[in-house]
Amino acid sequence: MAEIGAGPGQGLVLVDSLPLRWGPADPDTVAAEVLRHHDHNEEVLRVIAALEETPAELGEEHQPLAQEMARLDVKLNVLLGLVGQLLLVHFPLPPRRAVRLSPFGVEWAADCGPQPGETGTIELWLSSRCPKPLVLAARAESAADVDLACRYAARFTLLTESLRDRLEKIIFRHHRRSVALTRRRTQSSE
């Protein structure tokens, strides 16, 4: 993760390998499609935030409650994993791509993708624990050859402030966990 400007894949970014699909869309109908997916996207981001909340984040003053929540969290994770495996049989995900996601846009590597200026939708599965994708309107900004694949960048269009805020919180949470994991690794190797 890095802190850079406010374009696709810039600012505080989530760097990961995620299932991603680009679909071209008619610029005249993309606004209607955004409205159709708005509530769905809000729900997806709320579910991911709730699933990623750990019992330790709930506070240490209620230790017995935190222990019970941790136990339930493990059971829920097992159940979600099993349901996810069942869903993949009937609804396979698109290929995982090397992704840099910001609240403003996304960069990804693929064999083929959109041409700069093309309007479309990005379907992005942010969590293996939530089988629903975010469906966001975007405009392709660049395509560049990098190694054996192309690197594409698209800026989100028509993204409401509330969706951008929720997405930014999830990206920040991933960043915070990444920093904590790096610190633990450094401390354990000393």
pLDDT value for 2: 33
pLDDT value for 1: 30
Please compute the mean of the pLDDT values over residues 141-166 and round it to a whole number.
88
Please compute the mean of the pLDDT values over residues 27-32 and round it to a whole number.
81
Q: Which residue has the higher pLDDT, 6 or 41?
A: 41
Looking at the chain, the whole-number percentage of residues with pLDDT higher than 90 is 38
User: What global pTM score does this model have?
Assistant: 0.76
Q: Decide if pLDDT at 61 tops 50.
A: yes
Show the domains of the chain with their CATH numbers.
14-49+95-189 (2.40.10.220)
Question: Which of 2-6, 15-19, 92-96 shows the lowest per-residue confidence on average (mean pLDDT)?
Answer: 2-6
pLDDT value for 9: 45
Q: CA nearest 91: which of 168, 19, 157, 160?
A: 19
